[in-house]
Amino acid sequence: MNLTGLEHYIKNLEVASSSYQKVLEENRVLYNQVQDLKGTIRVYCRVRPFLPGQSHGQSTVDYIGENGNIMVVNPFKQGKDARKMFLFNKVFAPNVSQEQIYVDTQPLVRSVLDGYNVCIFAYGQTGSGKTYTMSGPDLTTEETWGVNYRALRDLFQISKTRGDAIKYEVGVQMIEIYNEQVRDLLVSDGSNRRLDIRNTAQSNGLNVPDASLIPVISTEDVLDLMKIGQKNRAVGATALNERSSRSHSVLTVHVLGKELVTGSILKGCLHLVDLAGSERVDKSEAVGERNSKLTQVLQDSLGGQAKTLMFVHINPESNAIGETISTLKFAERVSSIELGAAKSNKESGEIRELKEEISNLKQSLERKEAELEQLKGGSTRITTETQKQRAVSPFQVPKYGISASLKPDTNQLEARSCSSGKQRRSRFPSALTDREQLPRTPLVSEERLGGSAKTRTPSPSVRRSISTDRGAVMRSRVKAETIENQPVARVPFPARVPVNKSIAAFPAITPSTDSNNSRVYLGPQEPQKQDNVSDKLSSLQKVTSRKVYPDHEDDQFRQSLNIRQGGIRKSKPESKAKAKHQLPSRIQKSDMGISLLSDIDTAEKIEEARTNGFSEPENELLLAPAVNDALKVKKVRQNFSMNSQNLEPRGQVQQAEPILAPRLENKLPNGQNHQAKEGGNTSMPEFRRSRSTPRGKFLVIP
């Protein structure tokens, strides 16, 4: 081959190599898209370089492939057992720059601006480079900035470029979890108070609502805050390194975007987590309550409809080989966790309008209910008078005995109130109980027809006569009222229902929560109720009342941003009150979540890992609760999918929770559960007694 031929050959090779690279890149993009759909936790492995000034032997990293594979060699073993290959989404060699790391992280970060929840966390043994990846070694040089700063800079840049179409607001929180205590790292007054975690994801994404939420508009703002954070992190520790090895730091970026044309709202949340050194957690601590706080803080990003990325760090030194293998095995397991397709927290303008419409309808219903309540007051007086007149009827005495007529007046009152109360609940659903009672509104028409109620509950003649009399008195009023109510019930809800169901399933900021709620109330026991207008209305109201009011959420978010300028929260009582207001809609989810989490047999998983040949199981421990939550969710999904074939993968998770939750919540100390008890025979007499006794009393009124 002459020189020209060789040159030609090399050129061809270059071309082939470049197209090969292109194909690889395309494959990677496709692979990532598939991963997005599956919702697998992505895992990037980063190998730390040998540090200058430290003596080192041969690297334990034998080979790093282009497709995310890495081979490690155990210098203390011989033969084929000495080498082990692992596969991740990507492996970064020791010489890879901070910029290159971020390029592969960027798509995830950017999706926060589209309303996704994203969690990026750094895992690995102490000194393996977690802080280096997340924060960088030196804030003064942009070149070495870690993911945190680059991410925020990116968010600001993109939000600026989208400025004509979407108006974004960005706020950050920074907390530290140390010894299972959560502390605010952005306090400017040096106070080191412990913070509570909301047991469930808030609609506004504030899992730690009392941590300072500082509005930021530039990277400089962020840098200033990080300095405060670093300073606060060092407080109370003999050395910053020592503290950072043992504590998790979580930087959370909350993004609220409003599309100017459509009015749609986007809510995204980015957790950037620098975990404690993986070897620092004692096994006994990890198996128990350890790390439950971390799990709670990240709850909306580990089991929800979020995107999750784990940077797994390894130290190439031979004396770290045990931790390295253990870390890699753990990471490989994490990468197999599927969360299901991520969903954006976008609320379209149309949905907001529909919500407003529902809210208006709800208000007009409440007005009507109030008017009916007034009428009811009048009817009770009239009924009492009628009963007094009836009390002298000679027909009652032989039938029910004289002694009964000697019962004190209190009984009569009780009887009347119970009986009328029962019917009143049907006919006058109060605002507080409308969720339960609205589906019974057809009883109004039963009353109007006069016959159906009697058919269902055969009553003695006296009762009937009283009832009839009262009904007669009430009928005209109720009729008038019912007719007046009809336009409200006839508003085209049936047509709206499918749309509003989707509202129910539509995420506010934590989609899983809302869809959960919707499923809790429109759950398997209730579908038949959807057959009539009033039930649909009721369902809608349930959904509306369960959903945190969207405007309210936005206000709360904005208020948090505005009020807490300077890092000091000034309106805690107010926000607490608001939080209280929101609480009911969230409690169920939280309970479920916690129940699910607490149910995890972490020890079993660790044991399983060990039997798979891990030499150092401790690595499992640090993240065990957090990641095992996800594993648990996966397990639940699998179990549930056996029963529900037609559900979406994510939906399965969401539906499984409400189904499991009551079981877990109702567990009695003796192992029975309430539901079983209530559904069992033993509870029936109690139930009947409560209804029949008042009627009995009612009947013996002289």
Ligand X SMILES: Nc1ncnc2c1ncn2[C@@H]1O[C@H](COP(=O)(O)OP(=O)(O)OP(=O)(O)O)[C@@H](O)[C@H]1O
Q: In the structure encoding, which two tokens stand for residue 593, read together?
A: 């979540």
Q: Which of 57, 65, 75, 137 binds ligand X (CB under 6 A)?
A: 137
- Would you say 274 or 514 has its CB closer to ligand X? 274
The residue whose two tokens read 């080191």 is: 192
Q: Are the C-beta atoms of residues 248 and 176 closer than 8 Å to each other?
A: yes
Cα–Cα dist 226/257, whole Å = 24
Is residue 552 exposed (0-12), middle (13-18) or buried (19+ Cβ within 10 Å)? middle
3-state secondary structure of 142: helix
Paired with 696 in beta bridges are none
Contact status: 136 vs ligand X (CB under 6 A): no
Q: Which stretch binds ligand X (CB under 6 A): 150-158, 238-246, 555-563, 664-672?
A: 238-246
Q: In the structure encoding, which two tokens stand for residue 641, read together?
A: 């999918």
Minimal distance, residue 280 CB to ligand X, in Å: 8
Contact status: 129 vs ligand X (CB under 6 A): yes
Is residue 191 exposed (0-12), middle (13-18) or buried (19+ Cβ within 10 Å)? exposed
- Would you say 94 or 215 has its CB closer to ligand X? 94
- Would you say 46 or 293 has its CB closer to ligand X? 46
Q: Which of 148, 203, 244, 345 binds ligand X (CB under 6 A)?
A: 244
Minimal distance, residue 247 CB to ligand X, in Å: 9
Minimal distance, residue 80 CB to ligand X, in Å: 30
Size of the site for ligand X (CB under 6 A): 17
Going from the C-alpha of 289 to that of each of 56, 124, 277, 421, 657, the distances in angstroms are 38, 21, 18, 47, 21
Contact status: 326 vs ligand X (CB under 6 A): no
- Would you say 600 or 624 has its CB closer to ligand X? 624
Long-range contacts of 30-38 (CB under 8 A, 24+ apart): 31/89, 32/89, 32/107, 35/89, 36/307, 36/341, 36/342, 37/341, 38/338, 38/340, 38/341
3-state secondary structure of 536: helix
Q: Which stretch binds ligand X (CB under 6 A): 123-131, 222-230, 531-539, 565-573?
A: 123-131
CA dihedral 686, 689, 694, 697 (to 10 degrees): -140
- x-or-dash string of contact with ligand X, 25-54, rule CB under 6 A: -----------------------xx-x---
Q: Are the C-beta atoms of residues 72 and 86 closer than 8 Å to each other?
A: yes
Tell me which DSSP letter residue 174 carries.
E
Is residue 664 exposed (0-12), middle (13-18) or buried (19+ Cβ within 10 Å)? middle
Cα 518 → chain centroid: 13
Q: Which stretch binds ligand X (CB under 6 A): 128-136, 148-156, 543-551, 584-592?
A: 128-136
Minimal distance, residue 144 CB to ligand X, in Å: 9
Contact status: 132 vs ligand X (CB under 6 A): yes
3-state secondary structure of 135: coil
3-state secondary structure of 282: coil
Minimal distance, residue 274 CB to ligand X, in Å: 7
- Would you say 128 or 512 has its CB closer to ligand X? 128
- Would you say 202 or 324 has its CB closer to ligand X? 324
Minimal distance, residue 273 CB to ligand X, in Å: 12
- Would you say 183 or 313 has its CB closer to ligand X? 313
Q: In the structure encoding, which two tokens stand for residue 452, read together?
A: 């159906």
CA 182, 188, 191, 196 dihedral sign is negative
Q: Which stretch binds ligand X (CB under 6 A): 121-129, 168-176, 507-515, 615-623?
A: 121-129
- Would you say 241 or 532 has its CB closer to ligand X? 241
Minimal distance, residue 263 CB to ligand X, in Å: 43
Minimal distance, residue 239 CB to ligand X, in Å: 10
Cα–Cα dist 284/447, whole Å = 64
- Would you say 135 or 200 has its CB closer to ligand X? 135
- Would you say 246 or 695 has its CB closer to ligand X? 246
- x-or-dash string of contact with ligand X, 183-212, rule CB under 6 A: ------------------------------
- The order of strands in the sheet holding 61-64 is 61-64, 69-73, 83-87
Q: Which residues, 463 to 522, sit near ligand X by CB under 6 A?
A: none
Q: Are the C-beta atoms of residues 294 and 180 closer than 8 Å to each other?
A: no
Minimal distance, residue 197 CB to ligand X, in Å: 23
Contact status: 241 vs ligand X (CB under 6 A): yes
Contact status: 130 vs ligand X (CB under 6 A): yes
Is residue 612 exposed (0-12), middle (13-18) or buried (19+ Cβ within 10 Å)? exposed
Contact status: 245 vs ligand X (CB under 6 A): yes
Q: Which of 39, 68, 115, 127 binds ligand X (CB under 6 A)?
A: 127
- Would you say 233 or 293 has its CB closer to ligand X? 233
- Would you say 144 or 468 has its CB closer to ligand X? 144
Minimal distance, residue 604 CB to ligand X, in Å: 27
- Would you say 290 or 416 has its CB closer to ligand X? 290
Minimal distance, residue 277 CB to ligand X, in Å: 4
Taking each helix axis as running N to C, give the angle between helix 649-665 and helix 572-598, from 0 to 180 degrees, rounded to the nearest 10: 90
Minimal distance, residue 355 CB to ligand X, in Å: 45
State the alpha helices, DSSP H only, in 39-116: 98-103, 106-111
The residue whose two tokens read 């840049």 is: 157
Tell me which DSSP letter residue 204 carries.
T
Contact status: 277 vs ligand X (CB under 6 A): yes
Q: Which of 74, 105, 126, 541 binds ligand X (CB under 6 A)?
A: 126
Tell me which DSSP letter residue 248 carries.
E
Q: Which of 124, 209, 471, 617 binds ligand X (CB under 6 A)?
A: 124
State the alpha helices, DSSP H only, in 235-348: 240-246, 283-287, 292-297, 299-302, 321-335
- Would you say 124 or 171 has its CB closer to ligand X? 124
- Would you say 245 or 544 has its CB closer to ligand X? 245
- Select the residue whose beta carbon is closest to ligand X and give its number: 129
- x-or-dash string of contact with ligand X, 294-313, rule CB under 6 A: -------------------x
Cα–Cα dist 55/76, whole Å = 18
Residues that bind ligand X (CB under 6 A): 48-49, 51, 124, 126-132, 137, 241, 244-245, 277, 313
